[in-house]
A and B are shown apart, each in its own frame.
Chain A
Amino acid sequence: QVQLQESGPGLVKPSGTLSLTCAVSGDSISSTNWWSWVRQPPGRGLEWIGEIFLGGSTNYNPSLKSRVTISVDNSKNRFSLTLSSVTAADTAVYYCARATLFGGNMGEKYFDYWGQGTLVTVSS
């Protein structure tokens, strides 16, 4: 059974950097799946942040691209998110998720496993 678990600070100061890690069990971070971050501001909908594949290829939400970095640590089977220059608008529950491919194209994938989510509040 695949499990994902987010961890990181629950409070970040404005203009600071948000850093979260997602520990993966039951699958290898080096497998042919996309590893993603999705966030959800309180009372609002889902927003995709970005993804990483085979430890190298990345795609980011164009609206966040200038501030986001997703990386992997193969030795610890986990992947991470950093979001710089945060503001109150970045306050959200942050989920890590696995996107499994059912075909050969980017559009042929879906999120089959999710972490429980972690609330990050941006406040001084």
Chain B
Amino acid sequence: QSVLTQPPSVSAAPGQKVTISCSGSISNIGINFLSWYQQLPGAAPKVLIYDNTKRPSGIPDRFSASKSGTSATLGITGLQTGDEADYYCGTWDSSLSAVVFGGGTKLTVL
């Protein structure tokens, strides 16, 4: 049981848009800063978003994120088959004094 809650899977057609939700609580998403990671099959995770909404250099603007209260959303537009991966949200939990992750969402591009 993960501290942050994500849907197990989402799917959409190439070229379409998809959103992935991440729900937590006051002690994590509510007062700290969320990051999102993409994990391609057989690879290490890679950061897509940090500080709730910021993209590191090299991450295309097809990837965006928002946060409101104790929930956050990752959006991916112009879906490509290469976007098929597992996506994780993560943040610091001030009550646990620990980093917490969501359970991960598997994106399928149909």
Q: Taking the nearest CB of chain B, how far is it from the CB of A94, in angstroms? A: 11
B residues in contact with A103, CB < 8 Å: 33, 51
Select the residue from B2, B47, B88, B91 with max chain A CB neighbours within 10 A: B47
Contact, CB under 8 Å: B44 / A107: no
B residues in contact with A107, CB < 8 Å: 31-33, 91-92, 94
CA distance A116 to B39 in the complex (A): 12
**A39-72 at interface with B (beta carbon < 8 Å):** 45-48, 51, 59-62
Q: Is B26 an interface residue (CB 8 A)?
A: no
Contact, CB under 8 Å: A45 / B2: yes
Partner among A38, A45, A61, A106 whose Cβ is within 8 Å of the Cβ of B104: A45
Please report the number of residue pairs spanning A and B whose Cβ atoms sit closer than 8 angstroms.
73
A residues in contact with B33, CB < 8 Å: 102-103, 107-108, 110
CA distance A81 to B88 in the complex (A): 23
Instruction: Decide yes or no: A62 and B90 within 8 Å by CB, A45-B103, A107-B32 being known contacts.
Output: no
A residues in contact with B10, CB < 8 Å: none
Q: Is B63 an interface residue (CB 8 A)?
A: no
B residues in contact with A60, CB < 8 Å: 98
Q: Is B45 an interface residue (CB 8 A)?
A: yes
Closest to B102 in A: A45
Contact, CB under 8 Å: A59 / B97: yes
Contact, CB under 8 Å: A108 / B51: yes
Contact with B along A86-109 (1 / 0, CB 8 A): 000000000100010011011111
10 pairs from A and B in contact (CB 8 Å cutoff): A45-B2, A46-B39, A48-B101, A102-B50, A103-B33, A107-B33, A107-B91, A108-B32, A110-B50, A116-B44
Q: Which A-B residue pairs are the 3 nearest by beta carbons?
A: A107-B32, A110-B50, A107-B92
